[in-house]
Amino acid sequence: MKRGRLALALLLAPGLLWLMAFVMLPLGFLVVMSFWSSSIFGTVPDFTLSNYRRFFDNPLYTELLLKTLRIGIITTLISAVISYPIAYFISRQSGWRKFALVVLLFLPFWTSYVVRTFVWLPILGRNGAINQALMSIGIIDQPLEWLLYNEGIVYLGLVYVYTLFMTLPIYLSLEKVDPRLIEAAVDLGARPLDIFLRILLPLTWPGILSGGIMVFLLTVSAYVTPQLLGGPSGIMFGNLIAAQYLTGNNWAFGAALSVVLAGVVLLLLLVTGRWVGIQQVFSGGRS
Amino acid sequence: MPRNEQPTRTALSGMSRRSFLTMPAVAAGAAALGLPGARMAFAQGGSVTAVMPGVFIPDAARAVITSQTGIALENVPYVSPTDTLAKLLAPGGSSRYDLMISVTEFVRGPVMGASAGSENAMALDLSKIPNAQSIAPLFADDIVTRDGNTYLLPLVWGYDSVIYNRDRLDEDSAMTQSWGVLFDDTNAGRVALRDDAYQSIMLTALHLGHEDPSAIDQSELNEVISFLISKKRNFRTLWTAFGEAVNLLASGEVDALYGWISMRAALAGQGHNVANNWPSEGLLIWTQAGFIPADSPNADAAHEVINSMLSLEYGRALVETTDYPTTSAEVAESFSAEDQTRLGLDIAERGVKIVPMGFPENLDSWIEAWGRFKAA
């Protein structure tokens, strides 16, 4: 019994130490720093609530927080709608074809995030590939300016860069679904929509949730994509945080904004988690 | 102005493979020719870890430093003046780096500290920097001293203006030769600003008639932001990085943008018909000062590098590659009158109103106001 506990402790120790050193300590430091004060001359380790007061006093911050959450939710929903058919299609393949499709899915991720975002500029720009193609075949005679630098393109960019994080967990969930269940449903006369809603969706729900959490978390912390593709209005909460560190040297206020974002996201996950059964993500759908 | 620099190459990878391979050969060649700097180079050598914009060390300019000093200049990635200060003021920061170069007005206060004895840089030994005597009088105010000691020396200077497509905008128009070209409704959707509170608010305040834009108060700042919001639809986008800005003009996405002179050089090098304007409201000029962190372990080598950066050879190599001049008067004088005019090296004589880029005391408010503009 005692040896068993020791073995368990030894097994858990590396992971716990890792979590402590690289997750809990930095997070704790972030929270502590959010009560300090900063100026261009540096950060002073005193205690002040002024950073949080500033957040609540200026509506700019709550407006941008809400905008960021809205973009996060919509991006997650669009990603799910696009990723599910892709994942389903791949899961129905076999042999080299399945392998090739999975490789294709990963292919864009062999380049950097910035490159995957930047690539939309020559495609959607005023003299970009799409405008050139449409003008050369006579569909338009002036470039379409709305193709780039607006919020819609920010969604496109975010969905594109984070698709894999949604598609992969859904694909893995679909892989575990026993095909005989679907065959049985078909034999019993179930329509495709019924099969999807009553068999596939419940069985792959942990995968959808898992992908949804990842895409949502990545989206609400994004700042490169809105900056590159969003035009003059391309700003999310992450851009505000980045500006505190990169331009203003106001680490304390940047830390306070980060703590607020992390707190709101955690709260949102806890509240919606009860409703959508988020515990299934961690229990593999068994609860 | 390269406040937030285009992606720089790092430390050892800061050198191209070719320049790395040729570096010893350059030094050996210089030594064979009997250049005094080269002899000293082989005698001392060593390396200097520098935080500086990568644009100031193109291969040709790096080769000059190497041949004159024999010192390997390892430049860590440069992000911004703010980041430079963060690196300096972080625990151990003053001994981690040997040389820092950043925007003079931005770093002057924090580097010098509030009072004597709190300097975060060491006093420079000017006997080891004889080339400092060549710094042009125009930049005398940017030589930062305290109690008779010199702490920061302006090394490189430049000006920010509107870079525009000469095929699309009339060069002789008064509007083109004004910051107003960025706000003129006839150019709506075809101009771009930089996504940077400091620079964009500075130029807008200057355009609105503020003689010292860095000194505007909160109500004036609000007016500037209201004006920017009223003109928001004019801006196609807000660029964030050097390459993005160059691409905006090169691809025809915009006809004009707030930009740096190195962009003009890059675009001209690609064959684009671009120029920079000479804004009637005032040309924003800046210097980048070099200083040695207080506890630098290689201070002697850092002095040598600073001296080399003020040499005629380094200055010419930098101008010829990037259009950025050094503060050495000798460098400007070494170019023909025609080149001086083309490059803007004669701005002190050509009658352009010069506005030094001062540092706003309430930068936090500027950042917040810029966020308000973007969120509007």
Q: Give ranges for CATH 3.40.190.10 in chain B.
A: 12-157+287-338, 159-284+353-375
Short-list B193, B358, B190, B203, CA closest to B280: B203
pLDDT grade for A41, boundaries at 50, 70 and 90: confident
Contact B155, B307 (CB under 8 A): no
Span A77-90, pLDDT tens digits: 999 999 999 999 99
First to last CA, chain A: 29
Please give the interface size between A and B, counted as residue pairs whose CB atoms are below 8 Å apart: 100
Looking at residue B244, what is its pLDDT?
93
Mean pLDDT of A9-25: 93
Q: Over 90: is that where the pLDDT of A129 sits?
A: yes
Q: Is B372 close to A60, i.e. CB distance below 8 A?
A: yes
pLDDT grade for A208, boundaries at 50, 70 and 90: very high
Q: Over 60: is that where the pLDDT of B159 sits?
A: yes
Q: Over 60: is that where the pLDDT of A147 sits?
A: yes
Query: What is the distance between the alpha carbons of residues A25 and A13, in angstroms, rounded to a whole number?
Result: 16
Span A219-236, pLDDT tens digits: 999 999 999 999 999 999
Mean pLDDT of B146-169: 96
Interface of A with B in 82-101 (CB under 8 A): none
> Mind listing the domains of chain A with CATH numbers?
68-236 (1.10.3720.10)
Contacts of B236 in chain A (CB under 8 A): 149, 231-232
| Per-residue three-class SS string for chain B | CCCCCCCCCCEHHHCCHHHHHHHHHHHHHHHHCCCHHHHHHHHHCCEEEEECCHHHCCHHHHHHHHHHHCCEEEEECCCCHHHHHHHHHCCCHHHHCCEEEEEHHHHHHHHHCCCCCCCCECCCCHHHCHHHHHECHHHHHHCEEECCEEEEEEEEEEEEEEEEECCCCCCCCCCCCCHHHHCCHHHCCCEEEECCHHHHHHHHHHHCCCCCHHHCCHHHHHHHHHHHHHCHHHEEEEECCHHHHHHHHHCCCCCEEEEEHHHHHHHHHCCCCEEECCCCCCEEEEEEEEECECCCCCHHHHHHHHHHHCCHHHHHHHHHHHCCCECEHHHHHCCCHHHHHHHCCCCCCCCCCEEECCCCCCHHHHHHHHHHHHHC
Query: What is the distance between the alpha carbons of residues B273 and A239, in angstroms, rounded to a whole number?
Result: 34
Query: What is the distance between the alpha carbons of residues B79 and B74, in angstroms, rounded to a whole number?
Result: 15
Interface of A with B in 175-204 (CB under 8 A): none
Span B1-17, pLDDT tens digits: 554 443 333 333 333 33
Looking at residue B12, what is its pLDDT?
30
> What's the mean pLDDT when you consider all of chain B?
87
Span B216-234, pLDDT tens digits: 999 999 999 999 999 999 9
> What's the mean pLDDT when you consider all of chain A?
91
Q: Is A235 close to B375, i.e. CB distance below 8 A?
A: yes
Q: Which of A33, A40, A43 to mutate to test the interface with B (most CBs of B within 10 A)?
A: A40
**Residues 6+ positions from A202 with CB-CB distance below 8 Å:** none
Q: Which of A33, A235, A247, A257 to mutate to test the interface with B (most CBs of B within 10 A)?
A: A247
Span B281-314, pLDDT tens digits: 999 999 999 999 999 999 999 999 999 999 999 9
To the nearest whole Å, the CA of A214 is away from the closest chain B CA by 26
Chain B residue at shortest CA distance from A117: B244
To the nearest whole Å, the CA of B30 is away from the closest chain A CA by 41
Looking at residue A42, what is its pLDDT?
77
Mean pLDDT of A98-126: 91
Looking at residue A31, what is its pLDDT?
97
Looking at residue B2, what is its pLDDT?
53
Short-list B192, B321, B191, B324, CA closest to B269: B321
Mean pLDDT of B145-164: 96
Looking at residue B1, what is its pLDDT?
57
pLDDT grade for A273, boundaries at 50, 70 and 90: confident
ipTM of the complex: 0.86
Which residues on neighbouring strands pair with residue B256, listed in sequence order? B164, B191
Query: What is the distance between the alpha carbons of residues B85 and B120, in angstroms, rounded to a whole number?
Result: 10
To the nearest whole Å, the CA of A163 is away from the closest chain B CA by 25
CATH level 3 topology of B12-157+287-338:
D-Maltodextrin-Binding Protein; domain 2 (3.40.190)
Domain B159-284+353-375: homologous superfamily in CATH:
Periplasmic binding protein-like II (3.40.190.10)
Contacts of B247 in chain A (CB under 8 A): 121
Q: Is A41 close to B235, i.e. CB distance below 8 A?
A: no
Q: Over 50: is that where the pLDDT of B148 sits?
A: yes
* Facing residue for A121 by CB, picked from B198, B247, B363: B247
A231–chain B Cβ distance below 8 A for any pair? yes
pLDDT higher at B345 or B255: B255
Cβ neighbours, 10 Å, residue B210: 19
Chain A residue at shortest CA distance from B114: A41
A113–chain B Cβ distance below 8 A for any pair? no
